[in-house]
Homo-oligomer: A and B are copies of this chain.
Amino acid sequence: MSAAALRARVRAELTDEIKAVARRHLAIDGANLSLRAVARDLGMASSAVYRYFASRDELLTALIIDAYDALGASAESAEAPVDRADRLARWLAVCHAVRDWALAHPHEYTLIYGSPVPGYRAPRDTVPPATRVALLIGGILRDGPVTAPVSDQITGPLAAELATVGAVIAPGAPPHLLAHGIAAWIHLLGAVSFELIGQLDNVIDERRAFFEHQMRAAATLAGFAA
Residues of A at the B interface (CB closer than 8 Å) are 28-32, 110, 113-118, 152, 154, 156-158, 161-162, 165, 179-180, 182-183, 186-187, 189-191, 193-194, 197-199, 203-206, 209-210, 213-214, 216-217, 221
Sample of 20 more A-B contacts, CB < 8 Å, known A28-B118, A114-B114, A187-B191 = A32-B118, A115-B115, A116-B198, A152-B213, A152-B216, A157-B206, A157-B209, A161-B204, A161-B206, A165-B204, A179-B213, A182-B203, A183-B191, A186-B190, A186-B191, A187-B187, A189-B194, A190-B191, A190-B194, A193-B193
The smallest C-beta distance from A174 to any residue of chain B, in angstroms, reads 13
Taking chain A's interface residues, is the majority helix, strand, or loop, or is none over half, making it mixed?
A: helix
A158 adjacent to B197 (CB under 8 Å): no
Q: Are A186 and B179 in contact (CB under 8 A)?
A: no
Q: What residues on B are CB-neighbors of A114 within 8 Å?
A: 114-115
Q: Is the CB of A186 within 8 A of B214?
A: yes
Contact B187 A113 (CB under 8 A): no
**Which partner residue on chain B sits nearest A187 by CB separation?**
B187
Which of B110, B187, B191, B194 contacts A115 (CB under 8 A)? B110
By a CB distance below 8 angstroms, the chain B residues around A162 are 204
Nearest B-chain residue to A130, judged by Cβ: B199
B32 near A210: Cβ-Cβ < 8 Å: no
Measured between beta carbons, the chain B residues less than 8 angstroms from A189 are 190, 194, 199
B30 touches A118 (CB 8 A): yes
When chains A and B are docked, how far (Å) is the Cα of A32 from the Cα of B115? 13
Docked complex Cα distance between A176 and B206 (Å):
14
A-B pairs, 9 with minimum CB distance: A190-B190, A114-B115, A30-B118, A158-B206, A158-B209, A183-B214, A110-B115, A115-B115, A187-B187
